[in-house]
Structure 1
């Protein structure tokens, strides 16, 4: 607490008791860079106070230097392991994470960007009491997004939460190219809004975002469309455009966390089995040198996207909703919208823009029809929908 008091005194110019009516000494959460305390302002607002550890700024440069030396030593001992990208990423991202004003700006940007999602709650930032080392936010309570027992107790539908999480991140990645890259369960809460009773996903910790270039984002859209449709020629083409080279089968497996056999059949065709999980783990160990080589080859933007994918997959596994068809359909919708928006942006012809809009509407209608088929599969209506889809679309569903 003495260190926390010191940072608040230095940055805000006042003692804790002058700023807050009450301030809980025990932190709500603590990590390597900062810790968060619950407090109440004199006007009655309950807030979360994120305070950076005082020695982090000075220590971080030494940590990066040490990391660089150790990774260099590993490279000398094991030439096949390429991990210098790890140092490069730390050098780029750590200064951004240590600037809490940058975190506050990110929070407001993503809240505005995704305001159409009524289920998303981003805590408000109180700028008048925020600095590079202290961030004051609206206090929001909830259960962790991977806490199935909490959701069952509060009658929250885990399938709906998983679906909404997928929608939110697909929108960030494919449409906006501005991606929250730390969705570990401590940073994503679920709650029933006290005022309305509506279920909300609360997104916290906005220090680490990845900004995707249009070229990368559109290639990534094309790749996921190809993966969903099991179009292997295009999987190879867009994997190679994203730097995977001849390791494109491994790249496809890493992105989807599915076996190569499942990728070839279509990742939306069947959920992950226990046997496939074992196969994936064994292959991850076997192909570790190739994985490190691949991570060194892909664009830097891909590294945090892979991290984000893995964290989201972990949440889906905890909720038993992993690799559901609906998540792939949501991704497909976002890819369709993103690619159509890009085409419309590139043309000045009203006729061409109208044509692109009609094609987009038709593709989205096909996805909706396919979703209907999945819901009623096995019934006479499902068979009719499937027959209609096969007739309408040249690509496999």
Structure 2
């Protein structure tokens, strides 16, 4: 049993070991501290592994003492990982943020400990922030801002954000890169609507933007206080990412809770979702995106032959059942039964957590097989499932139905682009409308099936008979 627990811990630590080797192979420059970072990662991995191997030697499995000790070992290991992330910063914090969002997969001791990295990563001092602003903008804080809050709104892997007020009265968010972050960057920043950039107060290391109010997407207390419907947020988040992935193929790949805010629009009081940090996007290749659409359609329809066919086309090979489980965060039994109709149960969650530990070698092999753009989609899926778990909306089938709706629209758009006549375009559009109508009827059926009215009528009929 200790060996199995060790595998669970290595699900987290192996990632850091890989990062360490990567840094070690890329650069053996002591001035860049790669060797030191690798040494920290290796030492942390060794300490965690030794703890799991030795802690349970004299404790009988299944006793109260065993479960209490198991929780303590999980917590110690999680704290070691958190300290490693804080010490190595950069990519290590990104990985820690990802692990902290996997509520449905990792033990609670890990996720609760690593969640602090979503918005409270290691901070640069105010002196360091002032120095970066002085170097890049050539002025002191008082010359640029009426006020500049010393305590950051949030600190992430590469930068931290401070709330400030310009001399014209506008409130802004000033994102300042940590001084030790390397300046080089291989990609341009893609500017999107919300937030507005104040270019005269921005450089390669400083980004001054419109300040976006709101609470984190996993803050249920904030939503309750502001009258925000949790189920509506979960459903709209799923719709938004489904449309990005399946229809447009242009995907924000870092939706951890610190990067997703929710709020009531001041003008119309409608609920809004605000995406922050647009530094990590994936543009999906058309053929890949269409095969991914077809795979999800097969998963939703419980078309196992289709699941195998399109999983193989996406590189999973004979590991297609495992690929389907990793992609949906559902058990193979649930996939065969129909993920859009079978709700997530506690026993299934236990099965998923257990299998995650048992199949680590196969999972590692699978991740090495699939295209690199699939890795970012899997990361995105993990984070979205984690948010659903935190909001307690994961048992709902609405996310899969919304995926199906976007898949139908994406496939119809593709077919229309290949059509050679208006008649064929009309046929495709009519077929699309019919499939969307069928999906709406199915969604209505599931709603009626699960409504309290039907349960009451069923009980009444049973009583009368």
Q: CA deviation at 1:222?
A: 0.3
The answer on 1:54 being equivalent to 2:179 is yes
The residue that corresponds to 1:285 in the other structure is 357
From 342, 350, 357, give the equivalent of 2:422. Answer: 350
Contact 1:24 1:39 in 2 (8 A): yes
- Long gaps (5+) in structure 2: 1-125, 455-465
The residue that corresponds to 1:37 in the other structure is 162
From 233, 256, 261, give the equivalent of 1:189. Answer: 261
From 118, 139, 142, give the equivalent of 1:14. Answer: 139
**Paired residues for 1:1-397 under 5 Å:** 1-57=126-182, 95=185, 102=189, 105=190, 107-108=191-192, 111=193, 122-377=194-449
Name the CA distance, whole Å, in 2 between partners of 1:277 and 1:205.
31
Name the CA distance, whole Å, in 2 between partners of 1:126 and 1:361.
44
Secondary structure, aligned partner of 1:150 = helix
Q: Which region of structure 1 is more displaced relative to structure 2, 3-12 or 217-226? A: 3-12
TM-score normalised according to structure 1 size: 0.79
- Long gaps (5+) in structure 1: 61-94, 112-121, 383-397
Name the CA distance, whole Å, in 1 between partners of 2:402 and 2:440.
10
Q: CA deviation at 1:20?
A: 1.0
Q: Which has the higher contact order (CA 8 A, sep 6+)?
A: 1
Contact 1:22 1:41 in 2 (8 A): yes
Runs of 4 or more, structure 1, over 6 Å off, are none
Rg bigger for which structure? 2
Q: CA deviation at 1:16?
A: 1.8
Secondary structure, aligned partner of 2:347 = helix
Q: CA deviation at 1:263?
A: 0.6
Contact 2:253 2:282 in 1 (8 A): yes
The residue that corresponds to 1:75 in the other structure is none
Measured at CA, do residues 182 and 6 of structure 1 come closer, stay the same or move farther in structure 2, by a change above 3 Å?
Answer: same
Contact 1:268 1:323 in 2 (8 A): no
Measured at CA, do residues 247 and 378 of structure 1 come closer, stay the same or move farther in structure 2, by a change above 3 Å?
Answer: closer
Name the CA distance, whole Å, in 1 between partners of 2:200 and 2:440.
46
The residue that corresponds to 1:386 in the other structure is none
Contact 1:244 1:298 in 2 (8 A): yes
Q: CA deviation at 1:189?
A: 0.9
Deviation sequence 1:165-201 (CA, Å, 0-9, x none):
0000001100111111111111111111233322111
Deviation sequence 1:269-292 (CA, Å, 0-9, x none):
222111111111111111100100
Aligned CA RMSD, in angstroms, stands at 1.7
Measured at CA, do residues 36 and 231 of structure 1 come closer, stay the same or move farther in structure 2, by a change above 3 Å?
Answer: same
Name the CA distance, whole Å, in 2 between partners of 1:128 and 1:374.
53
Q: CA deviation at 1:348?
A: 2.8
